[in-house]
Amino acid sequence: MEENELIEKNGTDAQDVQENPDSEETVEVTETAETTETSDTNEATEISASAEENEISEPDETAEASVPSGVKTESEPAERDDAEGNFTPKASKKTTAVLFAIIGVLVVLIVVFVVLIMGKLKKEKEQEAANKPLPTQSVSAVTAAPTGAEEGAEEAEATATPYVRKDYHVTVTLGEYKGLEVDFPSIEVTAEDINNELADFLDEHSEMQEITDRPSQNGDTLNIDYTGYMDGEEFDGGTDTDVEFVLGSGQFFEAFEDGLVGREVGEYTLDLTFPEDYYEDIAGKPVTFVVTINSISEKWTPALTDELIEANTEYKTVNEYKAYIEGYLTEEYTEEAEEQVDGMIVEKAVENASFSGDIDEEIEDLTVQYMSYYDSMAQNYYGIDGATLFSYFYGMDEEQYKNYLKDESAYTIKLQYMLDEVAKVEELSYTQEEYDAEFEEIFISYYGFADAEEALATYTQEEIDETIAHSLLREKAQNLITGSAKVNR
């Protein structure tokens, strides 16, 4: 059956870039070379920090979270899950929790999710994304076939909606931003961490073994065919073959799975009732499934022994392998802590700054646009709104969801203003060589333009210059802030 996944356009399509054709702001360019320089002079052009905030926004890293087709949580409305819009009798009570990565929404058009948070801390991602081109107030309407969809599904498409920029008349008064002091996070690799890694190792070397001497029980893997009947007739989406699932996992609705406990290989008739919170057109209605159990299997997991370690790793004993695990986890946690420290430092600089003008209105506008983005995305993939989607993945109610987006919008906007002001005050600049490299990264590698001429057919030189200016100068401003900080270890 088709597997639905939440994805973000990976940024290779030029349509993902936000256009700002109405911009009246300019970038000041200062030539460092003298007018009398010779033809072999290699002095670079420096571009000042006065670039304004009207630019093309760069999508953030791709993040994705998958939900098996037809599987849903206790409160989740079941969705049509095959290429023809049919459904399967999937769970209404249990589902595997999926980590949904939402990066700190520093890039306006496509913020996501993602990664998955997966060991990455939200604020560190915010700092990382903050150095990318300014997320101006605009939203992409994204339409894409789910990753993992059956062969023949349409390719993902994305479009960007032009946005006429608004001046919120925000001014920034910097507080202390150099020499900030933070404490390095404590790092500890626990016995539980090591045991989890060992469990993963054993799982990788486990095997499925067919069961023939006992009936099925929760935890077994069944291979089944099934046909569903309502009012004596087969119905669309109620039939499937060669389906494997773990009994008791909640992949199917509870009564369906309960009806297969204590069974042997063979054919069974299950007279059931669909859950009340199931598909709207069949919720609470009686249904009969004829199910054939083709096989019953269970996972065999080997014992953790020196022999297993020696046969499958570079180490000879379990203790040696545990020491290896502790070492690489310590290194991994340290790297994560270093990135977290950078986020803590920059966050302090934001807290120390003050902002005047209509910044509250700007925060509200950006919050509304993020909500619109998530609503559009959630509707495309699940037929629900963004608030409902967040409730499934994070357990947020609607008020918490709105407050979360508002907090993220506020931090995004203030961080950008603060970094831009630091770049201006410190008179930061970059060379033509850096400009060229950043153009290559953003417009050629990231957005997929063939060359500068092709990019200029879509965007003005001013838009391109401002995009690159913000990307480079914010990174330099952040490096200045973090590089001057004192970290207590």
The half-sphere exposure of 172 on its side-chain side, counting CA atoms within 13 A, is 22
Cα separations in angstroms, 121 against 17, 106, 183, 486: 26, 14, 16, 21
Tell me whether strands 286-300 and 266-273 are parallel, antiparallel or unpaired.
antiparallel
Q: Do 101 and 113 form a contact (C-beta atoms < 8 A)? A: yes
Q: Which residues of the chain have pLDDT under 50?
A: 1-164
Cα separations in angstroms, 13 against 157, 293, 471: 8, 46, 19
The pLDDT value given to residue 165: 57
The pLDDT value given to residue 203: 94
The pLDDT value given to residue 112: 34
The pLDDT value given to residue 413: 94
Digit-coded pLDDT (tens) for 69-102: 232 333 333 333 443 333 444 443 333 333 333 3
Domains in the chain with CATH codes: 4-64+101-177+353-488 (no CATH), 207-300 (3.10.50.40)
Task: Go through 267-305 and write b for each residue having 16 or more CB atoms within 10 A of its CB, e for each that does not.
Answer: eeebebebbebbbeebeeeebebebebeebbbeeeeebe
Digit-coded pLDDT (tens) for 110-135: 333 333 333 333 334 334 333 333 22
The pLDDT value given to residue 195: 97
